[in-house]
Amino acid sequence: MLKPDQIPAHIGARRQSMPINNLTDKGKSLKHPAAKAPKIFADTGTIEEIHPLREAGIINGVTTNPTLMKRAGATSWQMAKEMMQEIVTLMAPYPVSLELTELQAEKMISQAEELAAYGDNVVIKVPVGGYGAVDSTLDRHTGLKVLHALWRRDIQTNATLIFNSTQALFAAQAGASYVSPFLGRLADYMYKHDRVEMPAGNALYYLEDHKGGKENSRTDNTPYVATSGARMDAGVRLIHEIAVIFANYDVTTEVLAASFRNGVQIPECLLCGADILTIPAPLLMGVADHPLTDEGMRSFVEDSKAFAS
Ligand code: E4P
């Protein structure tokens, strides 16, 4: 398996041509020190989850989907639209992905135009495929056709439900601004179908050893230390494959790693060349925590009592 120092140099070189992610406010002379840091999005439909993350400067974008909107309390399309509009306004100028619910190309394009009118930061999320699976009369290329039509209309898109690099390449080819490989769902699948003796498993084995049959004592696969770029996760390996292919051909469609299951996947995806991570809000809430930070804070606070009087 590749280690971080074996990552092709052109993945790094591609980053140089990518956009500035953290903007400096107008009139401020203290420039943002991490202008080209990866974009970190919150994967949520709940405005209350977005507020604290935005205040902490942790996120510079949001992704939603119908499941997240339903979980956030939307009980009608009208209600979902109002909630999405609120998120778009709160997050401007940072991107917010809003997923289409229509399934026929023309209706999808009209729906996309309606949602895109909420703000310049709207990105339209289009499932890359699966249309034939939900309705056998639908065109299997519906997603790609819509991505292409929206590119021609200057509307930014996020091709979602990506599970292999071929889907990612053809979404980019159709004009997608972002592709979203679902690494967690792939890792879930691999966990379910993988065999104990397979040497290249996935990180879920080490963090959530449900079956009890896998080694779970490797500290370099815990969220508490560096991962060493071990790529023990099938989803992470997919991100790497897409990043290499895009870098090989100078594709500027951004690789948006989605469907996170644990903290190990965060640095692993970055080591592999992901441009953006969209992470569930509860996982983002814990990014400043570490058992040694807790211990250090306790002793600093205790010792600072010496200066109390
Ligand atoms: C991405 O944009 C999706 O909203 C999301 O990451 C899906 O994640 P899940 O597999 O946890 O549903």
Span 53-103, pLDDT tens digits: 999 999 999 999 999 999 999 999 999 999 999 999 999 999 999 999 999
Weakest mean pLDDT among 18-27, 178-187, 255-264: 18-27
Nearest CA to ligand 1 atom 12: 259
The answer to whether position 227 is within a domain reads no
Is residue 177 domain-resident? yes
170 sits in the region (left: phi over 0; alpha: psi -120 to 50; else beta) called alpha
Residue 63 alpha carbon, nearest atom of ligand 1: 2
Has residue 100 been placed in a domain?
Answer: yes
pTM of the model: 0.87
212 vs 266: which has the higher pLDDT: 266
User: How far is ligand 1, taken at its centre, from the CA of residue 145, in Å?
Assistant: 23
Give the bridge partners for 84, in sequence order.
Answer: none
Query: In this structure, what CATH number is given to the domain that contains residue 179?
Result: 3.20.20.70
Query: CA dihedral in degrees (165, 69, 76, 125; nearest 10)?
Result: -30
**Closest Cα to atom 7 of ligand 1:** 259
Distance 182 CA to ligand 1 centre (A): 7
- Residue 87: how many CB atoms within 10 A of its CB? 26
* Residue 29 lies inside a defined structural domain of this protein: no
Domain extent for 109: 10-17+37-185+250-286
Q: Is residue 217 part of a domain?
A: no
Instruction: Give me the active site residues, please.
Output: 125
Residue 168 is encoded by which pair of tokens? 């990612």
- Ligand 1 neighbours, Cβ below 6 Å, are 43, 63, 65, 160, 180, 182, 184-185, 258-259, 278
Q: HSE, CB side, 13 Å, CA atoms: give it for residue 117.
A: 7
Nearest 5°: phi and psi at 19? -70, 165
Name the residue of 65, 126, 255 whose CB sits within 8 Å of the most ligand 1 atoms, as the mutation to test its pocket. 65
**How many structural domains are present in the chain?**
1
Tokens coding 163: 């599970």
Any domain includes 93: yes
Ligand 1 centroid to Cα of residue 43, in Å, is 7
Q: Tell me whether residue 161 is in a domain.
A: yes
Look at residue 195 and tell me if it is in a domain: no
